[in-house]
């Protein structure tokens, strides 16, 4: 008689986990339950809050931006309660790290929503982003660079996957994200020539910020792989596919030739805001920020010239969930 073995695990009946990622531009929530295959998302939320608006000149979070963030976090708190989340982690990144009133804002969030935000270090931000998306890397033996273009910073992680699970070789955090880089140049230009000149200056700023990291990268570039997790890469991938509306199923895990991403970036840098907003997956909310994202992306492709770019519509939130579930013994 052949034993049928132990019954399948039914993690979903045990705990519900939550993850909040409050960035410089977006507030995102993910609620999930573990399964044998990983986890199943049962609720999600995302809203553009522009928390870092005006920080380039003031050095602090404005009252209006904090109000927007608290309103979004209040929705998150309500979802956490209604879904009976048993364990959650809520993190804040570059805007709160840099703002002189970041700690004051965190206390206000706790007082008004009950959410305990944790201002994480750039290294932890990079680790969580890598943990959330590395499973989408294309197969290969060469080193891989995973990056996350945020609103206020960009994190880069060089990993090895030779032994299965990824090992971080080195990481870097540059103080340029789509919001901070856009504010460094402004948003209004009289002509295409002025827009191109501004784009060149943005690329040079980012290239300089990456200079020391590029010196840590291996000289051999055989078999290298590249993956991005951010609104920039998912937006540009949508333009590449000419999607009439955003479709996560078409984007998450997509491999795009880097030459195509460069062509799209060049096109975006020449257009004015109104022209960019006509793309259905860009719209008015992203039209003023996408060019800075293009500049950061091109600077990354300059230092890590892979042939294809992997696109991940997942990142810090998924990394948080995997970490929380792993602590409870769920092997995912």
DSSP β-bridge partners for residue 146: 157, 227
* 5-26 pLDDT, tens digit each: 444 444 444 789 999 999 999 9
pLDDT value at 4 more than 80: no
Q: The whole model's pTM is what? A: 0.88
Q: Quick one: pLDDT band at residue 328, thresholds 50, 70, 90? A: confident
* 212-266 pLDDT, tens digit each: 999 999 988 888 999 999 899 999 999 999 999 999 999 999 999 999 999 999 9
* 83-114 pLDDT, tens digit each: 999 999 999 999 999 999 999 999 999 999 99
CATH topology of domain 11-120: Nucleotidyltransferase; domain 5 (3.30.420)
Spell out the alpha helix ranges (H) of 217-272: 231-241, 248-251, 258-270
DSSP state of 163: T
CB atoms within 10 A of CB 58: 12
Cα angle, residue 121 at apex, residues 225 and 65 outer, rounded to 5° = 105
For residue 186, give both structure tokens. Answer: 């402004």
Question: Looking at residue 251, what is its pLDDT?
Answer: 97
Asked whether 125 and 154 are in contact (CB, 8 A), the reply is no
| Per-chain mean pLDDT for the chain | 92
Query: Can you state the angle between helices 192-216 and 178-185, rounded to 10 degrees?
Result: 130
What is the share, in percent, of the chain residues with pLDDT greater than 90?
80
Q: Quick one: pLDDT band at residue 331, thresholds 50, 70, 90? A: low
Asked whether 60 and 51 are in contact (CB, 8 A), the reply is no
Is 278 buried (19+), middle (13-18) or exposed (0-12) by CB count in 10 A? exposed
Q: Would you say the CATH fold of 123-316 matches that of 11-120?
A: yes
* 143-167 pLDDT, tens digit each: 999 999 999 999 999 999 877 778 9
Instruction: Give me the residue spans of the domains in the chain.
Output: 11-120, 123-316
Q: In angstroms, what CA-CA distances link 317 with 18, 32, 91, 250, 267?
A: 8, 10, 9, 20, 31
Round to whole Å and give the CA distance between 149 and 233.
Answer: 8
Class of domain 123-316: alpha beta
Round to whole Å and give the CA distance between 247 and 268.
Answer: 21
Residues 6+ apart with CB under 8 A from 41: 30, 31, 32
């Amino acid at each position: 008689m052949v034993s049928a073995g132990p019954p399948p695990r039914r993690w979903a009946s045990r705990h519900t986990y939550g993850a909040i990622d409050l960035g410089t531009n977006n507030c995102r929530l993910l609620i999930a339950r573990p399964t044998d295959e990983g986890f199943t998302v049962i609720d999600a939320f995302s809203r553009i809050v522009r928390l870092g608006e005006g920080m380039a000149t003031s050095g602090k979070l404005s009252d209006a931006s904090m109000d927007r963030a608290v309103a979004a976090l209040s929705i998150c708190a309500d979802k956490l309660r209604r879904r009976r989340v048993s364990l959650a982690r809520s993190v804040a990144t570059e805007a709160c790290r840099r703002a002189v009133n970041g700690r004051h804002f965190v206390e206000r969030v706790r007082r008004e929503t009950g959410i305990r935000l944790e201002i994480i270090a750039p290294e932890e931000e990079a680790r969580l982003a890598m943990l959330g998306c590395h499973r989408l890397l294309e197969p290969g033996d060469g080193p891989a660079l995973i990056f996350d273009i945020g609103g206020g910073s960009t994190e880069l992680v060089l990993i090895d996957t030779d032994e299965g699970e990824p090992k971080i070789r080195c990481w870097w955090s540059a103080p340029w994200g789509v919001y901070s880089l856009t504010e460094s140049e402004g948003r209004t230009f009289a002509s295409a020539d002025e827009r191109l000149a501004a784009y060149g200056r943005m690329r040079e700023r980012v290239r300089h910020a990456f200079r020391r990291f590029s010196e840590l990268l291996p000289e051999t570039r055989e078999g290298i792989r590249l993956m991005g997790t951010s609104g920039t890469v998912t937006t540009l991938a949508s333009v590449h596919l000419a999607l009439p509306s955003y479709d996560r199923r078409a984007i998450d895990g997509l491999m795009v030739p880097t030459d195509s991403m460069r062509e799209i970036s060049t096109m975006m840098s020449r257009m004015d805001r109104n022209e960019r907003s006509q793309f259905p997956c860009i719209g008015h909310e992203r039209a003023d920020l996408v060019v800075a994202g293009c500049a950061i992306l091109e600077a990354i492709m300059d230092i890590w010239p892979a042939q294809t770019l992997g696109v991940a519509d997942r990142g810090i939130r998924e990394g948080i969930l995997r970490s929380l579930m792993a602590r409870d013994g769920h092997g995912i």
